[in-house]
Structure 1
Amino acid sequence: MDRAKIITICGSLKSMAEVQTIAERIELEGNCVLSITYPTKDKEDYTEEELEILGKLHKQKIIMSDAIYVVNINGYLGESTKSEISYARSIGKEVLSLVDDYQI
């Protein structure tokens, strides 16, 4: 068996159900998935420090990965996801996506 790819999921927090379905599919294909951390409270209830920690740790997941998988339902990309795609490309990571027709 080939070595499993480590793939970090990137996408909007609005697409939790789709992210979970895609993460399961990717794992059933034999890969290891690092997913989005879903908040347990409203964004305004987090401190700036907490938001910064979550952002840094998601970038660390990208560093540890072979690729990212962008869950871009109907082609939607938020600013954070665009930043993650640019970051992944800048460090030579493969970028996979649900919908291929996006421009970064």
Structure 2
Amino acid sequence: MKTYTICGSMRFEKEMKDIAYQLETQKGFNIFQCTYTPENHIPSKKELNEIEKSHYKKIDLSDGIYIVNIDYYIGESVKKEIEYAKEHNKEILYHLK
């Protein structure tokens, strides 16, 4: 069973949750998901820094990353995650919708 960290814009939070479910139940992948911010909460810079560190640790522990790029949108953070994954020889899969 391969492990992937799901990466994508938080504007696609709902879709990423649904995709993670499908990948685990239909493809047999183990998925590390994003940290989702509680509703109506604006994270502090410190919280964002901790979330980012946690996300990169998930990538380190994964076989690869699974990019959710709905309508071909990839933001700056995801571009950095792709570069990080490449630098660490991680597999990169794309979900197009």
* TM-score normalised over the length of structure 2: 0.91
Aligned with 2:13 (options 8, 12, 16): 16
Q: Residue 90 of structure 2 aligns with which residue?
A: 93
State the 4+ residue runs in structure 1 displaced beyond 2 angstroms.
none
- Structure with bigger gyration radius: 1
Q: How far has the Cα of 1:55 moved from its partner?
A: 0.3
Q: Residue 2 of structure 2 aligns with which residue?
A: 5
Once the two structures are overlaid, the 10-residue window that deviates more, 65-74 or 20-29, is: 20-29
Question: Is 1:64 equivalent to 2:56 in the alignment?
Answer: no
> What RMSD, in angstroms, separates the aligned Cα atoms of the two structures?
1.3
Identity %: 40
Aligned residues: 95
- Is the strand fraction higher in 1 or 2? 2
Distance 2:45 2:39 in 1: 14
DSSP-derived class of the 2:84 partner = helix
Q: How far has the Cα of 1:64 moved from its partner?
A: 0.2
Contact 2:64–2:91 under 8 Å retained in 1 = yes
Q: Residue 32 of structure 1 aligns with which residue?
A: 30
Change (3 A) 1:49 1:5: same
DSSP-derived class of the 2:36 partner = coil
